[in-house]
Structure 1
C-alpha cells in the first residue's frame, strides 16, 4: 500500500473481528440439525457448540508469539487461513469427531484474531483517532454475528427441515469460506504496523509508514512514543501486592461477562426461541436475526454513550436489566407459562448486554491495568474469559435437558435463574470494586491504584 489510508486499513483488519463473530455464531443455526445428524446426547451437543472455544484458548495463547515473530499482519494471515480450513472441514464430515477437529481449528483462528485485530488497529491509528478506530473491531464482531444469522436463515429457506438436517447445516459452515478468503487476500493490501517494524529494527520503514499515516501531524512525538515503549523495561510482577488485586478485578469482569449467559443466546438462540412457542425452525431463525439486529444497534449506542455517561452506570444498568430478563424467562419456564411474549425479555437482555457488559467490559480491561504489565495481565483476563465462555456453552444443554434432575426439579428455569443471579452479582461487584475510568488518562488511573483512599471514594461514587 503506497499511500496507506488508516480507515481503509482499519476496515480490512476489522474483517478479523467480523470472522470472530461469524465463526462463533454460525453454529446457532445448526445445533438442532447437528443433534439429529450425529445423534448427539446433551453433553455431546454442548461440546459441539463449545469445542471451538478450546481452539480460542489455544489461539489466544499463541497470538502473542505469532504476532511477535511473524508480524501483526502475518498473524492475521494465519488466522484467515485457519478460518478457511475450518469452514471447509466443518462442512464435509460424516463423523462427529472430525467435525469437532475442524471447529477447534476455527477456534484457534478466532483466538488469534480476537487478540491481534484490535492490537493492529491500535498500533496503526493516530492517537487522536485510536479510540474510534479500535471500536470498529467490536462493531465488526457483532456485525459478523448478524450477517451469519441472515445467511443461516436464507439457507434454512432453501429446503425442507429434513434437508436442513441432512445437508443444509453443511452450507451454513461452508459459507464462512467466502469472508475468510476475502480477508486473506485483502490483508496483502495492508502494511505491517510501525510498532512491529521498529521492534524488528526496521526503523526507516517504520518512520516512512508512520509519516504517511500521520500525514506529518505530531510525527516526532509519535515516533518518540514508539521508541520509548520499546526500550522500556518492566520490573513489575503481576503477582505483586499492587498488581494482583487489579488482575483479580480484570479476571472477574471477564468471567462475569460470560456467566451472565450471553453465549446461551448467541449459540442456542433458534432452539430457545423455538421452544417459546410453536414456531417452526425458519421462524426461529428469523427471530434470531432480530436478536442480532438489536445487538448491533445497542452496541453502537454504547460506543456513543460510554464516554458521556461513564463505564459504571452503563455496566450496572445493563446488568440489572439482564438479571430481570433472565429471572423472568426462568420464572415463565418454571410456571410452564412459555409463550411468544418471552421474545421481549430476550431482546431486552440482548440490548442490555450490548449496552454494557459486551463493549464496556473490553473498555475497562484496556484501561485498568498499569502500562508495564498491561499485555500480560490482559492476556490472563482474556484467557479466563474464554474458559468461562466454554464452561457456560458446555453446561447449558446439560442443565436444560429434560432428563436431567435440574430440569425435572425446576422445569427448565434453573439455568436462566442462575444467569440472572450472576447479573445481580455483577451489579454489586462493579459498584464495590470497579473505579470509574471516564475522562482519566491511563497514567491518572495508574496513580489511582496507588492511593487507596481516592480509590475507595471513586468506586463508591
Structure 2
C-alpha cells in the first residue's frame, strides 16, 4: 500500500447538486486564470508525463552534455526520482543505499550536513545585522538631534521643521531601499552571485555604520544612512532566496521563516547596544560618543558576514545560470548527504530553469504583476501585509523591547502553518489595537506619576507579544508564496520595495505625527484588521494550482463574502446560534480530494473501472468502493487486480484522512496488455451467468481476446468448478471463466470448449490467432451482450451466456478504436476508428452503417480527382474514444488521437459537432460522463490535467443541450452552430500524465442514511503513471 497523498478538487458536500450548481460559482474565476495556471503547471513539475525511458535518456544527455559523464548513472537515477520524489521505492535502478538515504530524508528532515547548518548560521547572522541596522538609530535619536541642530522638541519655533528633518534622517535607508536598493538585487545577483551580493551588502553595512559614527551634520548623517540602504535592500531580498535555493524542500519553509525571527533578534541586539552605550560620556575631542558608538556597533557583526560568506557553497541555481554545471554539482554535493540527492536536485533545478526560459519569452513580468488579474490580486494582498507591518505601530514597540519581539516570533514557525496567515493577522490586529490604545491613553496620566511609565511599558510589552507571531513574520512568508512562479522573483522585489517605502513614510512622518496628534494617534491596527479581512486571502497549505483559484476570485467577490462571514461568525461562535455553514468561497474548500494506490508491479496502470453491483449478503459500501485495474506493458508481465477500501465511511464523510488507503484484494496475471476493463452492469444479477455464480461478480478484460473473469468477494463461497483461482488471505479471489477472440471461443484453464466464428483477415496476421481487441462495451439493458472493437476493422457482438459470436461487422476502413452501446438499446451501437469516422450500427439492419461524423479533410489538401489515380487518400485524424451522455443519449463526446479538443455530437444532427471543448494543452487520453443524476464530463491527458465540464450550463440557439431523453437516430434536428467552450468548472493536476479515468456508479438502493443515498456517485478514479487516485468530487 502506498503512502498517502491528498489533493483538493471538490466543492463542499453541502453545496447544491452538480447539475444545479449556481452559475455564480462557475463564474467566480477570471478568464486569465487558465493561462496563469498553465504557466504554473509547466513550472510546478516540468517532468510530468515523461516515461521512465525518456527520463533516463534525458538524465544521460544532461550529464554528457555538461561535462558530468562520470556521473551519468547518478543523473539517470536523479531524473527518475525528481519526477515523483515519493515513488522512489518502486524504482529498480536505485540500490538500497540510495533508498535508505531518500527514506531518511523523509523521516529525519533535520538530519542535514554540517555545511548546510553553517550556511543557515550565516543567513541568520545576516538577518541579525539587518535588525541592528534598523534598531540602533532608536537609542541614538535621544542624543544626536540636539547636537546636530534638529531637536524636534525645541521651543524656538523650528519644531515642525526639525520633526520633518529628523524623520528624513531616520528614514534615509528605507528611501534608498525603495527607490534603488531593492531594484539592484537582480543585477547584483546576476553579476556576483548570492555570496557576492551578501559580501557587497555586508561591506556597505560595515562601512556606512562607521561612517554614521563620524558625521558632524544632519546632512552628512542623511547621506551616510542613505548609502546604508544599499546594504539593507539587496540583502533583505537575497538572503531568504539564498537559503531557499540551498535548503532541501522538507525544511525550506522553516528556513525562510528564520529571516524574520533573526531580524527580530538583531533588533533586540541593537537595543542592547543602545543600553550598553547609553551612559558613555564624551571624551576630549569627541562630542556625542554614546550615539556614535550606538550607530557604529551595527557594523561589527557585518565583519563576520564578510569573513565567512565565501566559506559557504554558492547557490547551485546561480551556477547553472552561468553554465557552471560542475561547480553546481559540487555545491549541492556539500549540501546533501548522498550523490543521488545532489543529482536529483541539480537535474530538477536545470529543468525548472529551462521551463522558465520558455515561459519568459515574449512576456513582461513586471507588467504582468498589474495586468493579469490573478497577479494583481496577489500584488494587492502582498502590498497590504507589507504596508500594515509598518503602519500598525511596530516602530513604537521597538523603543526598547526587542527581546519580546524575538522570543514571541519563535512560535510563529509552528503557528503560521497550523492556523494560517490570515487567521494570525485577523487575531492579532485587534489585540494590537487594544494594547496601543492602552499605551497611548496612558500619556493622559500625569507625567510625574509612576503609574504612567508602568502602563506605557505594559502596553508596549503586550503589543510586541501580539505583533511578533502575526504581522511580524507573515508579510515575508505571504509575499514569497502568493505570486505565480514565473513572476515570483520580480513580485518579491516589488513587495520588498513596498515594505521599505512604507517604512520610509513612517520614519519620515512619525516625529511630525507624534507632535501633531500625540501618542494616541500612533496606531492603524483597526484599519489593518479590515484590510486583511477584505483583501488578504488565506494561502496556508495550498498548492500552486489552488493559489491560482484563490487569487482568481475577484476582489469585490472576496470582500462581499467576508461581509457575510463576520456576522455569521458572531452568530455561530459568540451567540452560539444553530445556523448552517456558509457555502465555500473557493472550489478547493470542502472535502479531502484523493485516495492513492500504487501497485506493487512495475507496469503503468491503464484500464480501470468501478464495481457496479453488490452480491447478496455483502455490504454495499465495500463493493461500491472496489476498483478493477489492469496494466499496459509491451511485454507479457501484465496483471489485473481488484483493489478496495475496507472502511465504508470514506463514502459519506468529508474528512477521511485517517481511514486506510486502497489495498489489493486479489490479482491475476494477464498475458497481454489490458486495453480495457469493465465490471458487469448493475442489472446483470438477473442473468444466467451471475445466477450460476451465486454470489460472485463478473469482470471483463480485452487484449488479445475478450476474457470474462469471476470475482468472489470476502465471505463468499468459492465455486468448486472454477480452476486457476488466485486467492488471498482476505478471502477474495479472482478466476477466469472464459476467453473469447475473433477466431475462437474457449474456456481456458482446463475447460475445453472452442467455438469458431468467421473473421476478417488482416494483412500479415496469423490465421490461428484473433486480432487484438482495442475496446468493448457491455450492454446495460441486456448484460449477456458485449460488443468488441478490433484492429482488424471489425466489431463483434458476443453473447457471453452462450459463449458465441452473434454477429461480426466490417465496421471501418481501418482499425476500430472504441465502441459503445446506445443507452437503453440492445440493437444500436456506435464506433470510432483510425479512418476518422464515427459510425452507428443497427443490428436489425446489418446492410449498412450510418456515418454520424467524419474528421474534416486537412486544410490545403486538394480534393481527390474524379479520374482514376493511384495517389493515396489524404491522411485523416483518427478518433480514439466515444462516450454517451447518460442523462440524454442524443449526445456523444469524442476526441482525435493526439488531439487536445473534445467534440460534442448530437445524433439528430450528423456531420457537425454542436460543441467543442478546448482547455487541454496536450493530447487527451480519456474521457467519461458521470452518472445520469450528475452528468459531468471528465477529460484527462498528457498535460496532467483532469478537467470537469458541466455542459448543462450552456445552451445552443436557446435550446438546452440536454432535452428530454428518448430521441434517437431517426429524429432529425435543425442545423445548429457549434459552440466553443474554454472554461471547465473544475480542474485537478496529477503528478504525471493521466492515461485513463472512470466515474463511480450510483448503485440502486445504496444508502448510508436517508440523506446520503447517492454518495458513491461523487468519485472519479484516474490512472496516472503507476498509481491510481480516487478523487472525491
Name the TM-score, length of structure 1 as normaliser. 0.86
1:38 and 2:142 equivalent?
A: no
* Residue in 1 that maps onto 2:525: 423
Selected match of 1:440 from 542, 546, 557: 542
- By how many angstroms is 1:161 displaced? 13
Q: 2: CA distance between counterparts of 1:149 and 1:97? A: 25
Q: Tell me by how many angstroms 1:336 deviates.
A: 5.5
User: Does 2:515 match 1:374?
Assistant: no
- Residues 182 and 413 of structure 1, relative CA distance in 2, 3 Å threshold: closer
**Does 2:171 align with 1:50?**
yes
Whether 2:121 is the aligned partner of 1:7: answer: no
Q: Which range moves more in the overlay, 12-21 or 219-228? A: 219-228
Work out the CA distance in 2 between the residues paired with 1:176 and 1:339.
29
Match of 2:352 in 1: 229
State how far apart, in whole Å, the 2-side matches of 1:83 and 1:242 are: 37
Q: Which has the higher strand share?
A: 2
TM-superposed CA distance for 1:81, in Å, is 0.8
Shift in Å, 1:4: 6.6
Taking the TM superposition and a 5 Å limit, the aligned residue runs for 1:220-369 are: 220-231=343-354, 232=356, 233-234=359-360, 235=363, 237-238=368-369, 239-266=371-398, 269=399, 288=400, 291-333=401-443, 338-369=452-483
1:40-189 alignment runs, 5 A limit: 40=150, 41-57=162-178, 58-159=180-281, 166-189=288-311
Counterpart position of 1:284: none
Does the residue aligned with 1:300 lie in a helix, a strand or coil?
Answer: coil
The verdict on how the C-alpha distance between 1:438 and 1:87 changes in structure 2, with shifts beyond 3 A counting, is same
Structure 1 residue 414 displacement after superposition: 4.5
Q: Identify the structure with the greater helix proportion.
A: 1
Equivalent position SS for 2:410: helix
User: 1:251: how far off?
Assistant: 1.2
User: Shift in Å at residue 241 of structure 1?
Assistant: 2.5
- For residues 195-243 of structure 1, the C-alpha deviation after alignment (integer angstroms, 9 at most, x for no partner) is 0000110011112221331223544442233112212223462222332
Deviations 1:32-88 (A, max 9, x none): 201111120212211221112122222111111101111011111110110111111
Q: Which has the higher contact order (CA 8 A, sep 6+)?
A: 1
Q: Specify the alignment match of 2:68 in structure 1.
A: none
Q: Which runs of 5+ in 1 are unaligned?
A: 270-287
Tell me if the contact between 2:282 and 2:289 (Cα under 8 Å) persists in the aligned partners.
no
Query: Counterparts of 2:302 and 2:427 in 1: how far apart (Å)?
Result: 37
| Structure 2 unaligned residues grouped into runs of 5+ | 1-112, 151-161, 562-583, 590-1033
Contact 2:422 2:536 in 1 (8 A): yes
CA contact (8 A) 1:43 1:397 kept: yes
Measure, in 2, the Cα distance between the counterparts of 1:299 and 1:318. Answer: 13
In 2: Cα distance, 1:164 partner to 1:346 partner: 34
State the structure with more CA Rg.
2
Deviations 1:88-109 (A, max 9, x none): 1111111221111111121210
TM-score normalised according to structure 2 size = 0.39
| Cα 1:259/1:300, change in 2 over 3 Å | same
CA distance in 2, matches of 1:80, 1:339: 38
Q: Relative to 1, partners in 2 of residues 1:163 and 1:155: Cα closer, same or farther, differing over 3 Å?
A: farther
- Cα separation, partners in 2 of 1:91 and 1:12, compared to 1, 3 Å: same
Shift of 1:165: 6.9
Q: Which moved more, 1:156-165 or 1:178-187?
A: 156-165
Contact 1:436 / 1:458 at 8 angstroms: preserved in 2?
Answer: no
SS in 1 for 2:408: helix
1:29/1:152 contact within 8 Å kept: yes
| Partner Cα separation in structure 1 for residue 375 and residue 148 of structure 2 | 47
CA distance in 2, matches of 1:169, 1:452: 51
**Alpha-carbon deviation of 1:157?**
3.4
Q: Over aligned residues, Cα RMSD in angstroms?
A: 2.6
Q: Distance in 2 between matches of 1:264 and 1:61?
A: 28
Match of 1:208 in 2: 330
Secondary structure of 2:438 counterpart: helix
Match of 1:283 in 2: none
